[in-house]
Structure 1
Amino acid sequence: MTPAPDVPAPDVLAPATLGPVRLRNRTVKAATFEGRTPEGEVSDALIDYHLEVARGGIGMTTVAYLAVAPEGRTHREQIVVGPDTLAGLTRMTEAVHETGAAIAGQVGHAGPVANGRSNGVRAIAASRMPSPLSMQMVASATEGDLTRVTGAYVATARTLVRAGFDALELHMAHNYLISSFLAPRLNRRKDRWGGSLENRARLARQVALAVREEVGDAVAVTAKVSLSDGYRGGVSTDESVEIARMLEADGALDALQLSGGSSLMNPMYLFRGDVPHREFADSMSGVVKWGMRTPVGRSFLKAYPFEEAYFRDKALRIRAAVDMPLMLLGGINHLATMDRAMADGFEYVALARAVLREPDLVDRLAREREGGGAGVGTCIHCNLCMPTIYSGTRCPVREAAPLPPA
């Protein structure tokens, strides 16, 4: 809930706890696919990517898209967590811990966002649907699939705990598998997994409870949830409030990270700012590249003006509805925005593009606070980083004009 007026807001740059985990501050690097696992394994490049932001002062960095099953990858160049990935994952957590930062793993199943043709395994979702990624039909998940996937979340959690991760982030947003069950337009089922919101939220709750039962208090368990999917028939903010209440009542999670948009239906709703139509088309191949150049393809990337903390108003509705800790995400670039988030009653702030542009942003903001500086990030929200996920996620502006040494 929103803090009482006479209770001082916490300092975003001071140490804090997340469940059983001690953080050096309340900043979290949000999960963004790194594009550095060409063999589906932990690479030196992946470790270096997280070390750069960890050395830059972030409280916790998040490794993106650790898939629980082969069909749960967005495409074949992603990690499917299993015993054979343990050594590489352990090497990464140990390296990050040496910097003083904590490390989280985003645990997910891509569902209809998976490219079945790339993966060589047919994708699954709440209901049968065509895939614009693979040009195949996505299958409706069976009861057996849902039992298997829930077990895969548990097995993945077990491996990540052994590897030394401090937190597990369960991906319940962006129309990945769990999110596809939540969205009425994607979930047309007539069984116990469809229809009412309680039924559509069944998989999210089942997975969270199963993971918590497996890990106990060995690590923090959080979930990324949608404030709004940003399209008709997606999860609405009213529904998001109720989903948050359900997840809080179950008691399986230490925090919620509040996101939005749909990787399938409306990705720019999450990103805001400039729309890199040409760059996205150039990064594609074949019929998808052609499709991105058509008016229909261009309309897929809708334009939303950027503003600081653009999810704040919707996130405040969740803050008023639940007591559990919340992470505010979306357009957080200024120290003043972080301070306002703390005053609003949010416990953590999640950063993505801001630290892709400046990996040492958190340390710089701390120095500027001490010196009375403005505390403003240099990301210009051009979103040219978005198409680079296919060749190694990076900031092209930073490459073209590196910032001077601090």
Structure 2
Amino acid sequence: MITPESPDWEQMRRGWNLSVDQQPAAVVEAAGPDQVAEAVKYAATQGLQVSAQAGGHGATYALDGMLVVRTSALDSLSVDVTARTARVGAGVRWGDLQAALDGTGLTGLPGSSANVSVVGYCLNGGFSWFSRPYGSGAGSLRAVELVDAAGERRWIDDASEPDLMWALRGGGGNFGVVTAVELDLHRAPAITGGRLIFPIEQAGAVLTAYGQATREAPDNVTLWAYLAQYPTPACMVDVITPDASSAELEQALSLVRAAGTPVSEVIRPLQPSEVADFNSVPAPPQALSLITSPFQEVTPELIGTLQEYGKPPLFQVVIRHLRSGQDGTYPGVAAADPQAPYLVLAVSIARTPDQQEPGVRALRALQEALSPWSVGQKTPTGLSSWNTLDECYGPNDLARLREIKQRVDPGDRFVGNFRLL
């Protein structure tokens, strides 16, 4: 246990996201699931609430005054290729799991960073390069091992705890400390992907073509578009597929390629291990802020707004193409699989403390400018540190989540990235 009196307290209390100056009461570095259970029992004797972090990507001010349990050491990992399943501990990162899948013809559902924990990602929804054919990370959860409010370890699934499994699939860490999960793996016999980079001056035409390409793309082809400011301003389009034919991939690429003059184009076969780092998201701890906004269509008006507001001090603005209106493999919170087919995600990174406030102001201005096109609820993984869960879940889902929370954790022992009660 690391306390404010410990010499390394300032380093240990912080999460990966340095924009949030989280102030827990103490931090426990658990060596395994049994130590997580002991920490939960200890918290009960001290009247402390508990929140779990692996790498600290979920840092929010909701964790102030908590006993934060770091689960990074829970790194067990096993893959059953025949059953197409994996069991991973709460400390396993997406880069670790994907590396274990090289040569298997299978993939998990990693997002844009290899450094994010598999468990934290799936509990909060999790949008992947392969969400269009296979759904969210939450939708692939088969079973969960958690430490409950009594400090007991137990495995649960849809047969034993259907309501709690529904809540865990996109409802976050408010129901217990998850120490391991079993999840489905998915077919990926021929992963192919790459990036086209255009001069920023061609962004309007490229994003227009991107809109057409995504409307026509089959479900197994995913395209994300970027207005990036660093290291130099550019408009980029990433494409990836787990198994598309060359004709399907070329159809999507040709529309985008013809809209401008690419200064760089690299499309190649990928191993599963390369997918988690596909778009080179920075991994070291950073002061990062973000906003998200789901929308229905890439229109000229929306493109113009993104070009007007998507400039420094913003790091980049991304349009992610999602699937829409399809049921997940397993039942979970609706917000984990939104009905909107697109999502804008904008990021600012403060390299010095004085850059943080201007970056947040720019993000809020973009959020307001996007409001005419915003549809539905925000996504669990896309909440800003100043948002609440009321902006994420619809009233029916929120009421059901709170009822389950009060039933399984009546003392409100556990707090996720955002408070449910």
TM-score over 0.5 for the pair: no
Larger radius of gyration: 2
TM-score by length of 2: 0.27
Considering fraction of residues, name the structure with more strand: 2
